[in-house]
Amino acid sequence: MLRLLRRRFGLLALVLVAASAPAAPRTEPPPRNLHEAIRRGFYSTDSKPLPGGPERVREFVERGADLEARDADGRTPYLLAASLGDAATMRLLAGRGARRDVTDTNGDTAFDLALAGRRGYALRLLIDEGWPLTSKHRFQFACYKIARAAGWLLPFLIGASFLAGRFLPRFYAHPPAIGRQPSGADQLPTLEPIKCGPCGGSVPLRLHGMRCPSCGTPATAPAEWKKTITLREKTAELLARAERLWERARLVSAAPVRLSLTLLALVLLVLVGIGLFSRLGDSLFAVRLSTAFVGASAFLGGLSLVAALLGYAFYLGEVQSILPVPVAAPAETTTTAQCTTCAGGIEHRGRALSTLCGYCGTENYRAALTGRELGVAHTEKGAAKVSLYEAMRQIVALRDKACTGLATAALVVGGLAVGALLVL
């Protein structure tokens, strides 16, 4: 019954029968030949030699028993040991010159017999000694190694995820909220736009070196504006930082990146699944409890990795939906324009996509630059509500949420792993 169970559900059954003791050795007449010594000296269900078993086998070998003798199934002692999963006896026999490349009456090799009986130790020995694997078994063995790595990785993954989720939010900048009026202007005092005396053009507001962009005539702002201008210039710096962050976020959250992560997650799931549940992988994982625990951990680790990758792909999708889409790359030149809210002069510098108006604090986009802004501009002329700065604030808030989720998930998976350890 146990044997049958074990054969059907190797890994699980190992756990279930672990507590049950091996059959007690009965007082039997001594074995008549090497085959009988091997068969009676090893408890396959537990992959353990029985008391006195290895000694009796050694005795027969020392006394010069025929190492190529066949039993009723046409199995040599080596094939018999392989079918029982008795790796120590296999090693002993091979060391004395027993042939490894023989087959029984059914044409089964040592590898076939070990695999059919899910004999992990025997399989591992054969593989380690360079048994010529078919490409299918080579693939399954590679998957087994991946699953094992995932199993060992789990504790580190849990620790790292928890620490990252818990402490990462301290390390990235949280942009402060800038109150905005319905017009798009900020909550600071709105300043009357300065016009150029000689030509009447709009002059971009600046604390130092202010001059008309059309004719170059110097202009000065009233001294009492200094505080407001300084605050707006600080906000402008934050906006520039948000823009750099936005460029980076747009790249890493692009559809191909998300698709690759999703595919990677699915491929990983399949590989770990094959590594755990193919006959070869299952046999190798089912050899003893500590390995079975690595197997259970691999199962959790594989699933967690997949969940993490999928979660990250989902997070990137959310990020992408928050970000405005640029229609064309901005030119590398400085251009002047008028603020959409107050008509004051503004200056788009370098490759900047957006500029903060010094007079009223409105975030102004370069004309025809972002798809979203375009859409808004078409419906509500001149009152673009899309803000890069606000997009970045939303993304940072989303990242905070993702970190909290990550730390919680790490705790849950860690709890499951400890639970599995206790059950095993």
Residues that bind Zn ion (CB under 5 A): 196, 199, 201, 212, 214-215, 217, 339, 341-342, 344, 357, 359-360, 362
Q: Which of 3, 43, 40 is nearest to 23 (CA)?
A: 43
CB of 199 to Zn ion, least distance (A): 3
Q: Which of 128, 71, 65 is nearest to 93 (CA)?
A: 65
CB of 368 to Zn ion, least distance (A): 19
CA 277/CA 136 separation, integer angstroms: 14
CB of 201 to Zn ion, least distance (A): 4
180: left (phi over 0), alpha (psi -120 to 50) or beta: beta
CB of 217 to Zn ion, least distance (A): 5
Nearer to Zn ion, 185 or 313 (CB): 185
Nearer to Zn ion, 303 or 339 (CB): 339
Nearer to Zn ion, 193 or 414 (CB): 193
Q: Are 360 and 186 in contact (CB under 8 A)?
A: yes
Nearer to Zn ion, 181 or 260 (CB): 181
Nearer to Zn ion, 133 or 188 (CB): 188
Tokens of 328: 């064309």
Report in angstroms the alpha-carbon separations of 312 from 147, 277, 289, 291, 315.
Answer: 21, 27, 34, 30, 5
Nearer to Zn ion, 203 or 268 (CB): 203
CA 390/CA 358 separation, integer angstroms: 18
Tokens of 134: 């078919």
Report in angstroms the alpha-carbon separations of 254 from 181, 246, 288, 319, 406.
Answer: 32, 12, 45, 10, 22
204: left (phi over 0), alpha (psi -120 to 50) or beta: beta
Nearer to Zn ion, 91 or 226 (CB): 226
Nearer to Zn ion, 161 or 190 (CB): 190
Q: How many CB atoms lie within 10 A of CB 75?
A: 24
Nearer to Zn ion, 326 or 344 (CB): 344
CB of 169 to Zn ion, least distance (A): 34
For residue 186, the cross-strand partners are 180
Q: Are 2 and 45 in contact (CB under 8 A)?
A: yes
CB of 329 to Zn ion, least distance (A): 25
CA 233/CA 254 separation, integer angstroms: 31
CA 424/CA 59 separation, integer angstroms: 37
